[in-house]
Structure 1
Amino acid sequence: MSKIYIIHENDEWTAPLKEALTALEVPYEDWHLAEGTVNLQEAPPEGIFYNRMSASSHTRGHRYAPELAQAVIAWLESHGRTVLNDSRALQLELSKVLQYEKLKQFGIRTPDTVAAVGAQQLGKAAQSFPAPFITKHNRAGKGLGVMRFDTAESLQRYAAGGAFDDSVDGITLLQQFIDSPTRTITRCEFIGGKFLYAVRVDTSEGFELCPAEACDIGETVEACPTTGAGDGFKAAPEKRPKFEIIEGFSSPLIQKYEAFLAANGIAFAGIEFIEDADGTIFTYDVNTNTNYNPNAENTAGVYGMKELAAYLKKELHALESGSSVHS
């Protein structure tokens, strides 16, 4: 019997999906790829394979899970299996540089960025980069490596010190600081490559933006690229939800995002953008292992994981009937 196969490395993030699949009576199998083997002499099982491998796997002790996922997905695709969030999507998940270059092909604006290998080269690049700016990891997630610097000298001191936090792939990004007057970013969620909803995320307390309930641990990173955290900054006095689904959201970006997803083998994703004081929108992150915030969804009455599970069910039925849902 065919089933859904979930490719991942984080049990907490997949628990809501398993619950949704169980509720819909969809057969599934868990492929946790923290470690394992791939027998290239054997054919893979029949089914629908959903890839939600994470770029931040190394923070959970799963340093080579993405590499193993790449091998598994190459094996699956060579045998003609349906992989949702395929090998192209995984490549994008693992590189913000690749994300930005692919987004630009669809007329989507991204922040000015320089990619650097080595702390010395990062500091050198900052000398000619307009301040203030931020740094972030190229292969990341959860706001890894995000710090704001107001001068090239302050970054150079940090880069030369023992506290420098290098990206797991060795590539650190030097990026344009975008000042959001509302101290928020917007995350657009897509199911089956189509827009589901947009959620407003309050960044005034930091840039730990994973919406999953399992990530709601009350911690913040050292600096947030949207707040100006540092000298003279004061958070807004009013208390607002960290995640809030925007009713009736619409934007010309949606059509561009959907075209971008279709061209890059991405069925499920959250895409984040920030708007500056002049109304200019910058898209800065694509999450192909997207999670959903239960508090925001309960308030709005829309549930991403249930929609995702229903889409997987349709794909499985299409496979069994010989038709196709995903294109």
Structure 2
Amino acid sequence: MTAVYVLHDNPDWIPAFARAFEAEGVPLREWRLGEGVLDLDAEPPQGVFWSRLSASSHTRGAERAKDAARATLSWLESWGRRVVNGSAVASFEVSKAAQHAALRRAGFDVPRTVAVFGREGLSEAARGFDLPFITKHNQGGKGLGVRRFDDYAAFDAYVESTEFEEPADGITLLQEFLPSAEPFVTRAEFIGGRFAYAVRVDTSAGGFELCPAEACAVPEAGVEPEPLFRVRPEVTADDPLIRGYEELLAQLGIEIAGIEFLTTSTGRTVTYDINTNTNYSPDVEAAIDDPATRRVARFLGGLLAPAPAAV
């Protein structure tokens, strides 16, 4: 029997999908990136292969996941296997510079951004930004390297200190700080290249690590936290911005993703992130009739070739 193989680097993110796939009757198999042996001359198993490479894999002891994903996905594609979010998308996932370039080329409003290779040149490049500005890692995820600076001297001291966060690929991004009109950003989810729903992500606490997965939630002892993620039902598939995102994803060959944007205090609608390793908030999933995890299972299950008829 063929199956859907999920290529991943974080087992903590799999249980929600495993439950959804079981409920939909779709066989799911795990494939850990960066482990074991890959026989490049052997034929892969039959099935559909879904890449969930995470840009932050190196922070969880999976330093080899990025290169393993590139090698494995290229091997699968060479055998003609159906791959969802394949080798080109894996390279896109680990480069915010590539995401920025694709968004800008497609005509979306993006934050002014400069990529600096290594530490040298960071202080000089920062002078090209008004205060405040932010930093982030090019190979990001979970808020890696994201800091706000309100003073050039403080930034200079940070760059020269032992507190400086070295990016995995040596590329630090400097970016204009965009105050939002209201304390939230929006994450639009897409499955099979089509809009699923939009989520309001509360940013009133001022943090930058906005992972929606259940495994990311760390509530205070004895405190029932307010949901950080809520559905935005007013954002629909007919919204021109959403239609534009669907067109972009089709051009890039991205089939499952979350795209984040915000409305600034000056009225700009700015798109700043494409996450091809999307997770779903359990609060949101529980509040809707057709959870995204179940939609993913149905989409990938529908790609499985039917079993051959008995002779």
Matched, 1:14 2:14: yes
**Structure 1 residue aligned with 2:215:** 214
Amino acid at match of 2:210: L
The correspondence of residues 181-200 of structure 1 with structure 2, limited to 5 A, is: 181-200=181-200
Query: What are the superposed Cα offsets for residues 145-191 of structure 1, whole Å, 9 maximum, x if unpaired?
Result: 11001132221111011100011111010001000131111000000
Counterpart Cα distance in 2 of 1:179 and 1:248:
22
Deviation at residue 119 of structure 1 after TM alignment: 2.0
Which has the larger displacement, 161-170 or 295-304? 295-304
Q: What TM-score does the superposition give when structure 1 sets the normalisation length?
A: 0.88
Deviation at residue 302 of structure 1 after TM alignment: 3.7
Amino acid at match of 1:217: V
Counterpart Cα distance in 1 of 2:279 and 2:128:
37
**Structure 1 residue aligned with 2:265:** 277
Q: 1:218 to 1:58 in 2, by over 3 A?
A: farther
Counterpart Cα distance in 1 of 2:35 and 2:116:
30
Amino acid at match of 1:62: A
Matched, 1:242 2:243: no
Matched, 1:259 2:259: no
SS at match of 2:89: helix
Deviation at residue 240 of structure 1 after TM alignment: 5.6
Counterpart Cα distance in 2 of 1:248 and 1:57:
34
Aligned residues: 301
Counterpart Cα distance in 2 of 1:240 and 1:2:
42
Counterpart Cα distance in 1 of 2:131 and 2:120:
18
Counterpart Cα distance in 2 of 1:218 and 1:101:
37
Q: 1:163 to 1:218 in 2, by over 3 A?
A: farther
**Structure 2 residue aligned with 1:178:** 178
- Contact residue 34 and residue 69 of structure 2 kept, 8 A: no
Query: What are the superposed Cα offsets for residues 180-235 of structure 1, whole Å, 9 maximum, x if unpaired?
Result: 1311110000000000000000112212211011101149xxxxxxxxxxxxxxxx
Query: What are the superposed Cα offsets for residues 238-266 of structure 1, whole Å, 9 maximum, x if unpaired?
Result: x9631000113133111111111111121
Name the % identity.
46
Counterpart Cα distance in 1 of 2:48 and 2:81:
7
**Structure 1 residue aligned with 2:46:** 46
- Contact residue 57 and residue 63 of structure 1 kept, 8 A: yes
Counterpart Cα distance in 2 of 1:244 and 1:155:
35
Deviation at residue 320 of structure 1 after TM alignment: 2.6
SS at match of 2:306: helix
- Contact residue 7 and residue 33 of structure 1 kept, 8 A: yes
**Structure 1 residue aligned with 2:154:** 154
Deviation at residue 21 of structure 1 after TM alignment: 1.0
- Contact residue 181 and residue 267 of structure 2 kept, 8 A: no
1:287 pairs with one of 275, 280, 283: 275
Taking only aligned residues, the RMSD between alpha carbons, in angstroms, comes to 1.6
**Structure 2 residue aligned with 1:297:** 285
Q: What TM-score does the superposition give when structure 2 sets the normalisation length?
A: 0.93
Structure 2 unaligned spans of 5+:
none
**Structure 2 residue aligned with 1:309:** 297
SS at match of 1:320: coil
- Contact residue 137 and residue 146 of structure 1 kept, 8 A: yes
SS at match of 1:6: strand
Deviation at residue 321 of structure 1 after TM alignment: 7.1
SS at match of 2:295: helix
